Amino acid sequence: MLNLILFGPPGSGKGTQAEKLVAKYRLLHISTGDLFRYEMSHNTELGLLAKSYIAKGELVPDAVTIGMLRKRVEANPDVKGYIFDGFPRTVPQAEALDKLLVEKHQTISALVELTVDEDEIVKRILLRGKNSGRSDDNDESIVRKRIQVYRKETTPVADYYGQFGKSLTVEGIGSIEGIFKKLCKTIDNHVGRKA
Ligand code: AMP
Protein backbone atom coordinates (compact mmCIF):
# COMPACT_ATOMS: atom_id res chain seq x y z
CA MET A 1 0.00 0.00 0.00
CA LEU A 2 1.13 3.49 -0.77
CA ASN A 3 -0.54 6.09 1.44
CA LEU A 4 0.51 9.63 0.67
CA ILE A 5 -0.29 12.99 2.19
CA LEU A 6 0.01 15.76 -0.37
CA PHE A 7 0.83 18.77 1.74
CA GLY A 8 1.34 22.49 1.20
CA PRO A 9 -0.36 25.86 1.54
CA PRO A 10 -3.59 26.68 -0.29
CA GLY A 11 -2.79 27.32 -3.94
CA SER A 12 0.40 25.23 -3.93
CA GLY A 13 -0.98 22.92 -6.63
CA LYS A 14 -2.05 19.97 -4.49
CA GLY A 15 -5.28 19.32 -6.40
CA THR A 16 -3.58 19.42 -9.81
CA GLN A 17 -0.73 17.17 -8.74
CA ALA A 18 -3.01 14.80 -6.82
CA GLU A 19 -4.92 14.03 -10.03
CA LYS A 20 -1.68 13.15 -11.80
CA LEU A 21 -0.40 11.05 -8.90
CA VAL A 22 -3.70 9.16 -8.75
CA ALA A 23 -3.38 8.26 -12.43
CA LYS A 24 0.20 7.08 -12.02
CA TYR A 25 0.02 5.19 -8.72
CA ARG A 26 -3.68 4.16 -8.90
CA LEU A 27 -4.58 5.59 -5.52
CA LEU A 28 -7.89 6.85 -4.19
CA HIS A 29 -7.85 10.64 -3.97
CA ILE A 30 -9.50 12.05 -0.85
CA SER A 31 -9.70 15.85 -0.73
CA THR A 32 -11.52 17.14 2.36
CA GLY A 33 -11.98 20.52 0.64
CA ASP A 34 -13.74 18.77 -2.29
CA LEU A 35 -15.87 16.73 0.11
CA PHE A 36 -16.95 19.90 1.93
CA ARG A 37 -17.72 21.66 -1.38
CA TYR A 38 -19.86 18.69 -2.43
CA GLU A 39 -21.80 18.88 0.84
CA MET A 40 -22.20 22.66 0.45
CA SER A 41 -23.48 22.35 -3.11
CA HIS A 42 -26.17 19.94 -1.84
CA ASN A 43 -27.07 22.15 1.13
CA THR A 44 -26.68 19.31 3.59
CA GLU A 45 -26.40 19.92 7.32
CA LEU A 46 -22.68 19.19 7.13
CA GLY A 47 -22.36 21.53 4.15
CA LEU A 48 -24.06 24.39 5.96
CA LEU A 49 -21.87 23.91 8.99
CA ALA A 50 -18.69 23.74 6.89
CA LYS A 51 -19.69 26.86 4.97
CA SER A 52 -19.75 28.96 8.14
CA TYR A 53 -16.02 28.24 8.64
CA ILE A 54 -14.85 28.06 5.03
CA ALA A 55 -16.35 31.48 4.19
CA LYS A 56 -14.16 33.03 6.91
CA GLY A 57 -11.01 31.17 5.89
CA GLU A 58 -11.06 29.16 9.12
CA LEU A 59 -10.71 25.42 9.61
CA VAL A 60 -13.78 23.26 10.03
CA PRO A 61 -13.60 21.70 13.54
CA ASP A 62 -11.51 18.55 13.85
CA ALA A 63 -14.32 16.28 15.06
CA VAL A 64 -16.45 17.07 12.01
CA THR A 65 -13.57 16.77 9.55
CA ILE A 66 -12.19 13.56 11.01
CA GLY A 67 -15.67 11.97 11.04
CA MET A 68 -16.17 12.82 7.36
CA LEU A 69 -12.71 11.51 6.42
CA ARG A 70 -13.15 8.28 8.35
CA LYS A 71 -16.45 7.61 6.57
CA ARG A 72 -14.81 8.11 3.18
CA VAL A 73 -11.90 5.79 3.97
CA GLU A 74 -14.15 3.11 5.42
CA ALA A 75 -16.43 3.26 2.37
CA ASN A 76 -13.42 2.43 0.15
CA PRO A 77 -11.46 -0.35 1.84
CA ASP A 78 -10.24 -2.24 -1.25
CA VAL A 79 -7.90 0.27 -2.81
CA LYS A 80 -4.17 0.24 -3.53
CA GLY A 81 -3.65 3.21 -1.27
CA TYR A 82 -4.89 6.70 -0.53
CA ILE A 83 -3.73 10.15 -1.42
CA PHE A 84 -4.85 12.61 1.20
CA ASP A 85 -5.14 16.17 -0.08
CA GLY A 86 -5.91 19.00 2.36
CA PHE A 87 -5.93 16.54 5.25
CA PRO A 88 -4.57 16.35 7.92
CA ARG A 89 -4.48 20.08 8.61
CA THR A 90 -3.90 19.88 12.39
CA VAL A 91 -1.84 17.58 14.60
CA PRO A 92 -5.00 16.03 16.16
CA GLN A 93 -6.18 15.22 12.60
CA ALA A 94 -2.80 13.56 11.91
CA GLU A 95 -3.08 11.50 15.09
CA ALA A 96 -6.63 10.47 14.17
CA LEU A 97 -5.48 9.46 10.68
CA ASP A 98 -2.65 7.35 12.07
CA LYS A 99 -5.08 5.65 14.43
CA LEU A 100 -7.50 4.93 11.59
CA LEU A 101 -4.71 3.45 9.44
CA VAL A 102 -3.39 1.33 12.32
CA GLU A 103 -6.87 -0.18 12.63
CA LYS A 104 -6.52 -1.16 8.97
CA HIS A 105 -2.94 -2.47 9.56
CA GLN A 106 -1.61 0.33 7.40
CA THR A 107 0.51 3.42 7.78
CA ILE A 108 1.35 6.71 6.07
CA SER A 109 4.19 6.14 3.59
CA ALA A 110 5.15 9.80 3.26
CA LEU A 111 4.01 13.39 3.54
CA VAL A 112 5.14 15.38 0.52
CA GLU A 113 5.05 19.14 0.87
CA LEU A 114 4.87 21.46 -2.13
CA THR A 115 6.71 24.66 -1.18
CA VAL A 116 5.59 27.95 -2.72
CA ASP A 117 6.16 31.47 -1.37
CA GLU A 118 3.27 33.57 -0.08
CA ASP A 119 3.08 36.23 -2.81
CA GLU A 120 2.99 33.55 -5.52
CA ILE A 121 0.24 31.69 -3.64
CA VAL A 122 -1.95 34.78 -3.30
CA LYS A 123 -1.49 35.54 -7.00
CA ARG A 124 -2.42 31.97 -8.01
CA ILE A 125 -5.49 31.75 -5.76
CA LEU A 126 -6.94 35.08 -6.87
CA LEU A 127 -6.46 33.99 -10.48
CA ARG A 128 -8.13 30.64 -9.74
CA GLY A 129 -10.98 32.52 -8.02
CA LYS A 130 -11.93 34.19 -11.29
CA ASN A 131 -13.08 30.82 -12.68
CA SER A 132 -13.46 28.40 -9.79
CA GLY A 133 -16.66 29.87 -8.37
CA ARG A 134 -15.08 29.48 -4.92
CA SER A 135 -15.95 32.52 -2.83
CA ASP A 136 -13.00 31.78 -0.50
CA ASP A 137 -10.69 32.29 -3.52
CA ASN A 138 -11.98 35.75 -4.41
CA ASP A 139 -11.25 37.89 -1.39
CA GLU A 140 -7.59 38.69 -0.69
CA SER A 141 -8.14 39.10 3.06
CA ILE A 142 -9.73 35.62 3.25
CA VAL A 143 -6.89 34.17 1.19
CA ARG A 144 -4.30 35.73 3.53
CA LYS A 145 -6.24 34.44 6.52
CA ARG A 146 -6.12 30.89 5.08
CA ILE A 147 -2.36 31.19 4.67
CA GLN A 148 -2.03 32.45 8.25
CA VAL A 149 -4.10 29.48 9.52
CA TYR A 150 -1.91 27.18 7.44
CA ARG A 151 1.30 28.55 9.00
CA LYS A 152 -0.03 28.39 12.55
CA GLU A 153 -2.16 25.23 12.66
CA THR A 154 -1.10 23.13 9.69
CA THR A 155 2.71 23.38 9.37
CA PRO A 156 3.16 21.43 12.66
CA VAL A 157 1.74 18.41 10.79
CA ALA A 158 4.92 18.29 8.65
CA ASP A 159 7.02 18.28 11.85
CA TYR A 160 4.78 15.56 13.28
CA TYR A 161 5.58 13.21 10.37
CA GLY A 162 9.17 14.49 10.36
CA GLN A 163 9.77 12.76 13.71
CA PHE A 164 9.16 9.47 11.90
CA GLY A 165 11.39 10.40 8.95
CA LYS A 166 8.36 10.67 6.65
CA SER A 167 8.31 14.38 5.72
CA LEU A 168 9.56 15.23 2.24
CA THR A 169 9.57 18.52 0.31
CA VAL A 170 9.39 19.42 -3.36
CA GLU A 171 9.56 22.96 -4.73
CA GLY A 172 6.11 23.73 -6.15
CA ILE A 173 7.36 26.27 -8.69
CA GLY A 174 7.72 25.60 -12.42
CA SER A 175 5.65 23.72 -14.98
CA ILE A 176 2.98 21.23 -13.87
CA GLU A 177 4.88 18.45 -15.64
CA GLY A 178 8.23 19.48 -14.14
CA ILE A 179 6.82 19.53 -10.61
CA PHE A 180 5.13 16.17 -11.19
CA LYS A 181 8.44 14.58 -12.27
CA LYS A 182 10.15 15.91 -9.12
CA LEU A 183 7.29 14.61 -6.97
CA CYS A 184 7.44 11.11 -8.46
CA LYS A 185 11.21 10.96 -8.07
CA THR A 186 11.00 12.05 -4.44
CA ILE A 187 8.25 9.53 -3.65
CA ASP A 188 9.95 6.64 -5.50
CA ASN A 189 13.29 7.34 -3.80
CA HIS A 190 11.64 7.37 -0.40
CA VAL A 191 9.59 4.23 -0.93
CA GLY A 192 12.49 2.44 -2.63
CA ARG A 193 14.79 3.29 0.23
CA LYS A 194 12.33 1.85 2.69
CA ALA A 195 11.59 -1.30 0.73
P1 AMP B 1 -9.09 23.32 0.35
O2 AMP B 1 -9.90 23.04 -0.86
O3 AMP B 1 -8.28 22.12 0.81
O4 AMP B 1 -8.25 24.55 0.24
O5 AMP B 1 -10.13 23.57 1.54
C6 AMP B 1 -11.04 24.66 1.51
C7 AMP B 1 -11.50 24.96 2.92
O8 AMP B 1 -12.17 23.81 3.47
C9 AMP B 1 -10.40 25.27 3.92
O10 AMP B 1 -10.02 26.63 3.90
C11 AMP B 1 -11.06 24.89 5.24
O12 AMP B 1 -11.96 25.89 5.67
C13 AMP B 1 -11.89 23.67 4.85
N14 AMP B 1 -11.10 22.42 5.04
C15 AMP B 1 -10.65 21.59 4.07
N16 AMP B 1 -9.97 20.57 4.60
C17 AMP B 1 -9.98 20.75 5.94
C18 AMP B 1 -9.41 20.05 7.04
N19 AMP B 1 -8.66 18.94 6.86
N20 AMP B 1 -9.64 20.54 8.29
C21 AMP B 1 -10.39 21.63 8.49
N22 AMP B 1 -10.92 22.37 7.50
C23 AMP B 1 -10.72 21.93 6.23
d(CA 192, CA 195): 5
Q: Which ligand 1 atom lies nearest to the CA of residue 69?
A: 19
- What is the model's pLDDT at position 195? 42
Work out the average pLDDT over 167-181.
97
Q: Is the pLDDT of residue 190 over 60?
A: yes
What are the boundaries of each domain within the chain? 2-117+155-191
SS3 of 28, please? strand
Contact 8 CB / ligand 1 (< 6 Å): no
Give the residue-averaged pLDDT of 142-146.
94
The DSSP string of 36-101 is HHHHHHTT-HHHHHHHHHHTTTPPPPHHHHHHHHHHHHHT--SSS-EEEES---SHHHHHHHHHHH
- Is a pLDDT exceeding 60 seen at residue 194? no
Look up 14 and say whether it is catalytic.
yes
Q: 192 CA to middle of ligand 1, Å?
A: 31
Cβ–ligand 1 contact at 59 (below 6 Å): yes
Average pLDDT value over all residues in the chain:
95
pLDDT exceeds cutoff 70 at 129: yes
pLDDT for residue 135: 85
Q: What is the mean pLDDT of residues 124-136?
A: 89
Percent of the chain, pLDDT > 70?
Answer: 98
Protein fold of 2-117+155-191: Rossmann fold (3.40.50)
Torsion of CA 131, 133, 136, 141, to 10 degrees: 50
Cβ 86 under 6 angstroms from ligand 1: yes
70 has catalytic annotation: no
At 71 the pLDDT is 97
Question: What's the pLDDT band for 193 if we cut at 50, 70, 90?
Answer: low
**Does the beta carbon of 9 sit less than 6 angstroms from any atom of ligand 1?**
no
pLDDT at 192 over 90: no
The predicted-structure confidence for 147-156, as pLDDT tens digits, reads as follows 999 999 999 9
Confidence (pTM): 0.95
Q: How confident is the model at residue 77 (pLDDT cuts 50, 70, 90)?
A: confident
pLDDT single digits (tens) 52-70: 999 999 999 999 999 999 9
How remote is the CA of residue 34 from the centroid of ligand 1, in Å? 8
C-alpha 85 – ligand 1 centre gap (Å): 10
